[in-house]
Structure 1
Amino acid sequence: MRSQLELFFTALGYFSRLPVPAWVAWSPQRAAAAARYFPLVGWIVGAAAAAAYALAALVLPPAPAVVIALAAAVLLTGALHEDGWADACDGLGGGWAREQVLAIMKDSRIGSYGALGLMLMLLAKAATLVELAAAGSAAFASALLAAHALSRLAATALMQRLPYARSDDSSKSRPLAQPLDHGGVAIASACGVLPLLLVPGAAALAALATTALLTFAAARYFLRRLGGYTGDLLGATQQLTELGCYLAFLATWNFT
């Protein structure tokens, strides 16, 4: 139990800005094994965003309350996944050869593709969440929890199925580039899927199918363009599938 707790805190410290106990030691091996709790970190981020929305909605209309919820999630993760999405847009949009794409994604500066991609992603999430908020605070919170957990399971799935694209060890995500064992896969899958029990059955199935299709498409594209994944591509996949979950929920609720 203590070893699993250490893995959870390692994942929490790696994928968020939340403090972790001092007795949790860091090692590349532990970081790789801690990926099993990546979806569980999504529970915390989703719950924090839902709480921020609930508090803001007491005094504000839905639209600004949604913006506050998005800001809470970004602050909690240090914009880790948004940064990956922007870098992936820059690299895949502006680069041609594999080496060029990888070099662009590693550049800390943001370009036109990254700026536009990030702006459109945030606008799309905000617009979708404003519509979801009309279903009520409980449904809105359930959607956030499910989307944040399932989208992180999608990123974890890429680490299982694809090789790591970079040959150097300088990347921050390099310690994660090890497949999980069967137990780790089971824990990640359970943590990623369980929050779907909070939403209606049809919406849950739609979100699950959408996430699976987007993850499969992303994996094929990344493999063709770069021969594998990078940390930025994991963040991009999380952002893409999170939005996909929101759209699936909204589409399903509009037809029920």
Structure 2
Amino acid sequence: MSCKKREFHAYKEIIKKEFNLLFLALSFFSRIPTPKKMIYSPRLLNQSNRYFSLVGLLLALLQGAFFLIFIQILPAPITLILMLAAGLILTGAFHEDGLADMADGIGGGLNIEQRLSIMKDSRVGTYGVVTLVTILALKYLLLLELAQKGYLYTDSHLFFLVCLTLGFSLSRAVAASLIINTAYVREKKSSKSTTLASAQKPQELFILLAVALLPAWYFSFYEVLSLILLLFIFRQLFRAWLIDKIGGITGDCLGAAQQISEVIIYIVLMASLTLNPS
């Protein structure tokens, strides 16, 4: 085999492997159909974490397309509710479930063992319901304002779509970044997230952030800088809080980090739009 053919074959294998990792990430983090011939192993699932942001980007594009279609025939409030419902179907409410479980566990447990035990319970308690309703209401109201004011100022839905893609991708990068330097505190057999949340490398974080910040081209340097700074502060405080309450992270905590980060992103973008409407 010639040198060029060997190089071509090597590049082909690399591309094939990366697509396999992407499909693994899609199958884990969403309900989007994936090829049945995926190659699975705990090591590959762990590596697929690098595409967490890209999965968010793909989900945002799907929901954005949904929004663009139905906004032509329905009012914005109804369109947004339908879009959010479609998103819950696409993800299986994966991250929302994690947020509710974390709220129940940390809110209802008196010590680390009780908190982790409550998190594993599939039933939803008062803390989980209140937290989930609050985060969904905030998300709906913020997206509604971004859609309506963005269209008012720009005469285009592009602003809303970019906000949506940035919120989906960057929030997932924040959540996944916790894996890099935070201990996982659940027994290996008790959570399907354990494999994904172990032995992450700095290179994974670079890929996560590079993909997550793709939609940031639309915004000014100072807007992006403010957003990154606030998310970094949230990440550090949230991480310290989790270590204090349960000694580290669980898959539920990662879901909670994604949901809270997404809302923070929309708040910052809404504030920026209000202060600088042009």
**Any idea what the Cα deviations from partners look like across 1:220-253, whole Å, max 9, x if unmatched?**
1111111110000000000000000000000111
Residue of structure 1 equivalent to 2:63: 49
Residue of structure 1 equivalent to 2:160: 140
Looking at structure 1, the residues matched to 64 and 222 of structure 2 have their Cα atoms a distance apart, in angstroms, of 22
TM-score (norm. length: structure 1): 0.96
Counterpart pick for 2:145 among 113, 119, 131: 131
Looking at structure 1, the residues matched to 188 and 114 of structure 2 have their Cα atoms a distance apart, in angstroms, of 15
**Any idea what the Cα deviations from partners look like across 1:122-154, whole Å, max 9, x if unmatched?**
001001111100202110000000010000001
Shift of residue 27 of structure 1? Answer: 1.4
Residue of structure 1 equivalent to 2:28: 14
Kindly tell me: are residues 39 and 56 of structure 1, through their superposed partners in 2, closer, same or farther at Cα, counting changes over 3 Å?
A: same
Counterpart pick for 2:128 among 91, 100, 114: 114
Does residue 100 of the first structure (1) align with residue 120 of the second (2)?
no
Of the two, which has the highest radius of gyration?
2
Looking at structure 1, the residues matched to 166 and 209 of structure 2 have their Cα atoms a distance apart, in angstroms, of 13
Residue of structure 1 equivalent to 2:236: 216
Does residue 37 of the first structure (1) align with residue 57 of the second (2)?
no
Kindly tell me: are residues 58 and 40 of structure 1, through their superposed partners in 2, closer, same or farther at Cα, counting changes over 3 Å?
A: same
Looking at structure 2, the residues matched to 212 and 74 of structure 1 have their Cα atoms a distance apart, in angstroms, of 27
Looking at structure 1, the residues matched to 124 and 55 of structure 2 have their Cα atoms a distance apart, in angstroms, of 27
SS at structure 2 position matched to 1:176: coil
Report if the CA contact (8 A) 2:180-2:202 is conserved: no
Structure 2 residue identity aligned to 1:59: I
Residue of structure 2 equivalent to 1:152: 172
| Root mean square deviation, CA, Å | 1.3
Shift of residue 189 of structure 1? Answer: 1.8
Shift of residue 216 of structure 1? Answer: 1.3
Q: Among the aligned pairs, what percent are the same residue? A: 35
Residue of structure 2 equivalent to 1:248: 268
Looking at structure 1, the residues matched to 69 and 199 of structure 2 have their Cα atoms a distance apart, in angstroms, of 40
Shift of residue 60 of structure 1? Answer: 1.4
TM-score (norm. length: structure 2): 0.89
Shift of residue 183 of structure 1? Answer: 3.0
Looking at structure 1, the residues matched to 226 and 167 of structure 2 have their Cα atoms a distance apart, in angstroms, of 12
Shift of residue 67 of structure 1? Answer: 1.1
Report if the CA contact (8 A) 1:17-1:78 is conserved: yes
Looking at structure 2, the residues matched to 230 and 243 of structure 1 have their Cα atoms a distance apart, in angstroms, of 20
Which moves more between the two structures, 223-232 or 177-186?
A: 177-186
Counterpart pick for 1:232 among 252, 259, 268: 252
SS at structure 2 position matched to 1:109: coil
Structure 1 residue identity aligned to 2:119: M
Shift of residue 28 of structure 1? Answer: 1.0
**Any idea what the Cα deviations from partners look like across 1:77-98, whole Å, max 9, x if unmatched?**
1100000011111111111200
Report if the CA contact (8 A) 2:180-2:201 is conserved: no
Report if the CA contact (8 A) 1:143-1:199 is conserved: no
**Any idea what the Cα deviations from partners look like across 1:69-118, whole Å, max 9, x if unmatched?**
21122111110000001111111111120010001110000001111111
Is there any run of 5+ residues in structure 1 with no aligned partner, and where?
A: none
Does residue 87 of the first structure (1) align with residue 101 of the second (2)?
yes
Looking at structure 2, the residues matched to 200 and 193 of structure 1 have their Cα atoms a distance apart, in angstroms, of 12
Looking at structure 2, the residues matched to 239 and 165 of structure 1 have their Cα atoms a distance apart, in angstroms, of 21
Looking at structure 1, the residues matched to 20 and 91 of structure 2 have their Cα atoms a distance apart, in angstroms, of 19
Looking at structure 2, the residues matched to 50 and 202 of structure 1 have their Cα atoms a distance apart, in angstroms, of 25
Which moves more between the two structures, 25-34 or 174-183?
A: 174-183
Kindly tell me: are residues 200 and 67 of structure 1, through their superposed partners in 2, closer, same or farther at Cα, counting changes over 3 Å?
A: farther
SS at structure 2 position matched to 1:175: coil
SS at structure 1 position matched to 2:189: coil
SS at structure 2 position matched to 1:169: helix
Structure 2 residue identity aligned to 1:237: A
Looking at structure 2, the residues matched to 200 and 65 of structure 1 have their Cα atoms a distance apart, in angstroms, of 29
Is there any run of 5+ residues in structure 2 with no aligned partner, and where?
A: 1-14, 152-156
Structure 2 residue identity aligned to 1:194: L
Does residue 171 of the first structure (1) align with residue 191 of the second (2)?
yes
SS at structure 1 position matched to 2:213: helix
Structure 1 residue identity aligned to 2:231: T
Which moves more between the two structures, 184-193 or 84-93?
A: 184-193
Counterpart pick for 2:204 among 184, 194, 217: 184
